[in-house]
Amino acid sequence: MNVQPDLNFIKAMKEAGGDTLKQCYQCATCSVACPLSTDGDPFPRREMILAQWGMKDKLMADPNVFLCHQCGDCSDACPRGAKPGDVLGAIRAYAYQHYGWPNGLAKLCSSAKNLPMLIGIPAVTIFVLWIISGGMHIPTGEQFAHVGFGHFFGHWDFRLLAKNVLFIDIIMLSAAGIAAFSLYKAISTMWKKMEENLGVGEVLYRPSASLFIKDFLWPSLKEIVGHDRFRECTVNNDRVKGHLPLMLAFIGLFIVTCYSAFTQDVIGIFIPSLHGPISMWNPVKLLANVSAVAMLVGIGILWMNRTKMEAEGKATNTFYDWFLIWMIAGVGVTGLAAELLRLVGIPSLAYVVYYLHLVSVMMLFFYLPYTKAAHIVFRTFAMAFERFRESAYVKDPLND
């Protein structure tokens, strides 16, 4: 077999945390240690070989790269200190850049030297729109107590759509729309490459959208929500304590956002009294506050866990790992701080913190496809593909 290594790929992996790759001498200890490895699919040993050979295309079409939960069992067992978990993390980081659209934005998210620009893009965007909106003023204490941040981008008397909502929708829906389109292109391309990589030719037949969701996507989502594979880890099983509350926090905040949008911006057209801050004793508000605390608890645990692993030499300090932690922490801290400042009635400081909160949220949406947050989507579809490749859609049951 003629192997054409991609040297730029190997260099990118080293920069993203896979610098111990060359220490691997293929003893297969990692595959023995990994609770997700099977006799017929011995990862991460196979992936370590492909990475050493610089076979980028094979790895970009390998669902096993995204099935890895980076629990640390393989890295802890490795007699050479090759840290297969970090290497696979580096491969995933490269994949998000490789599949990312637009490619320039994906590359921007790959290096710490671009951090000023990564913060500056949403910061300047929101600041300019704040100026254009005409709402850049600090309300009186009485006004602030009545409307909260509802007039951050100003106010008009058009009943069907509040001015504040219009500007927030322009910012957040645009950021989320670009992210969603990028992820759609990435997953579509990756799925096609994974099918080609099966080596069985054209698949026998394809499931309908409803059958795909029922047989492959939904079971994968249930497994992810239950953190089933995380619980199989031994060395770093404390990650469940961080990931689970973080995931539940995002689910809770999604419910709160949908409720707020519907009650204030749909029902609020007919019942104007629904505009303004939600009562602190409203069950949905309680859910919002509990979710915000869960977010900070979860990211705090992951922060301490990551710091501990790096101090013990079990993980490499990389921008790829820390950027997402910083963004989520920023969203949680600024969100809770803005609410506390509203409750104590300090509008000047509260508006500044709320602006920083909007910047943090936009960053989380806008950069999702190109950062570690992308694993939420990539891993889900990799797990769906794992089920798909073992199904009758790919394997002819008459030949078994």
- Domains of the chain, by residue range, sit at 7-99, 104-389
**pLDDT of the residue at 317:** 84
**Rounded-to-integer distance, Cα 198 and Cα 61, Å:** 9
Closest alpha carbon to 70 in 16, 146, 114, 139: 16
Asked if pLDDT for residue 30 goes beyond 60, the answer is yes
pLDDT in tens, 41-74: 788 888 888 888 888 889 999 999 998 887 778 8
**pLDDT of the residue at 69:** 81
Asked if pLDDT for residue 397 goes beyond 70, the answer is no
**pLDDT of the residue at 400:** 53
pLDDT in tens, 261-300: 788 778 877 777 666 677 778 888 899 999 999 999 999 9
Residue 382 tokens read as 């990799």
Residue 334 tokens read as 């600024």
**Rounded-to-integer distance, Cα 307 and Cα 325, Å:** 11
**Which span out of 38-52, 78-92, 113-127, 302-316 was modeled with the highest average pLDDT?**
113-127
**pLDDT of the residue at 84:** 87
Asked if pLDDT for residue 159 goes beyond 80, the answer is no
230 — pLDDT class (breaks 50, 70, 90) = confident
**pLDDT of the residue at 200:** 64
Q: List helix spans (H) across the chain.
A: 7-13, 29-33, 45-52, 56-60, 64-67, 73-77, 84-99, 103-108, 115-133, 141-147, 163-197, 209-212, 218-225, 239-265, 283-311, 319-344, 347-366, 375-389
What percent of the chain clears pLDDT 70, i.e. is strictly above it? 94
**Which span out of 59-68, 74-83, 113-122, 242-251 was modeled with the highest average pLDDT?**
113-122
136 Cβ contact partners less than 8 Å away, ≥ 6 residues apart? 130
Would you tell me how many other CB atoms lie within 10 Å of the CB of residue 58? Answer: 17
Cα dihedral 367, 175, 187, 226, rounded to 10, equals 70
**pLDDT of the residue at 388:** 92
What percent of the chain clears pLDDT 90, i.e. is strictly above it? 45
pLDDT in tens, 82-112: 888 888 888 998 999 999 999 999 999 988 9
DSSP for 35-53, please give it: TT--SSS-TTHHHHHHHHT
Question: ∠364-358-119 over CA atoms, to 5°?
Answer: 60
